[in-house]
Amino acid sequence: MTSPSLPPITTTCLYSETSIPYYPAMQKTARRSQAIVRPPGRPREFDMDTALDRAVRVFRERGYHATSIGDLTAAMRLATGSIYKAFRDKHAVFLAAFERYTALRQEQTRSAAARGATGRERIRHVLLSYVEHSQGSEGRRGCLVVGGAVELSALDPVVGARVNAQLKSNESFIAGLIREGQADGSIPRHVAADDTARLMICITQGLRVVGKARLPLDGMRLVGVAMKLLA
């Protein structure tokens, strides 16, 4: 989905980007049925998703406040002016990076779930995937949801709302898997789906904290223990 090089036209005309306005003045993407209409003026040269992936990386490593515009220009390979052409301010860069990050993570989690045949097995794979992402160098890079919750949600209502929504979305995904497991017989009926899902969200978020703090995490062992919650 993200290309390492910078194709000059591809991105400009398609608007494959996830959601809401990145841009100070966002044009309506398409008036009627034809979706591919190039907006007026000089087209953007850089690939937005590539640039955002690079911003994600910096924000994950340094957090919001410790990341300067200079850090972003270096990482995103854009000049100061270009960043401010593309985003209202640093806050908007973070928000766009956050969206990009959660979209990619959601994809990874769904595909991990898809590796299981029953509800129970799907949950096992989701948890395993979380442990893997919380471990080693990837884990030390950190998680934007956890980072946003800890560093920003008390100071910034917009980020707070996004973090809250993301956690709820993850939680209801897990709760859904639990109910699937109860339907297919792999998880006992007496398991409290919502409470267990909330606790599992705590586990996943805690894994990221512990992984960032460089405690080693053994996926098989930890998930093995955690699966008792579905007994």
Using rule CB under 7 A, residue 215 touches DNA: no
Number of residues that bind a copy of itself (CB under 8 A): 51
> Tokens 């998680």 appear where?
143
Residues whose CB falls within 8 Å of the CB of residue 184, separated by 6 or more in sequence, listed in order = 118, 119
The 9-38 site mask, x for binding DNA (CB under 7 A), equals: --------------x-x-x----------x
Candidate list 69, 117, 154, 183; residue touching a copy of itself; CB under 8 A = 154
Quick one: 151 exposed, middle or buried, by C-beta within 10 A (0-12, 13-18, 19+)? middle
With contacts defined by CB under 8 A, name the span among 45-53, 101-109, 150-158, 174-182 that binds a copy of itself: 150-158
Residue 65 within binding range of a copy of itself, rule CB under 8 A: yes
| 84 contacts DNA (rule: CB under 7 A) | yes
Task: Please classify residue 172 by burial: count the beta carbons closer than 10 Å to its beta carbon, then call 0-12 exposed, 13-18 middle and 19+ buried.
Answer: middle
CA distance 200 to 73: 37
Supply the angle between the helices 48-62 and 90-114 in degrees, to the nearest 10: 90
On whether the CB atoms of residues 38 and 13 are closer than 8 A, the answer is yes
Q: How far is the CB of 24 from DNA (least distance, A)?
A: 8
Number of residues that bind DNA (CB under 7 A): 28
Residue 4 or 216 having the CB closest to DNA = 4
Q: Are 64 and 145 in contact (CB under 8 A)?
A: no
Of the pair 89, 218, the CB lying nearest a copy of itself is at: 218
Considering only residues 52, 76, 113, 146, which one is a binding residue for a copy of itself as defined by CB under 8 A? 146
- Distance, in Å, from the CA atom of 207 to the CA atom of 214, rounded to the nearest integer, reads 11
Rounded Cα distance, 12 and 228, in Å:
49
Interface with a copy of itself by CB under 8 A: which range of 4-12, 98-106, 118-126, 165-173?
165-173
Give which of 129, 97, 95 is closest to 112, Cα–Cα: 129
Q: How many CB atoms lie within 10 A of CB 229?
A: 18
Residues that bind DNA (CB under 7 A): 8, 23, 25, 27, 38-46, 67-70, 78-82, 84-86, 89-91
Residues that bind a copy of itself (CB under 8 A): 61-63, 65-66, 140-142, 146-147, 149-151, 153-155, 160, 163-164, 167-168, 171, 192, 195-196, 198-199, 201-210, 212-215, 217-218, 221-222, 224-226, 228-229, 231
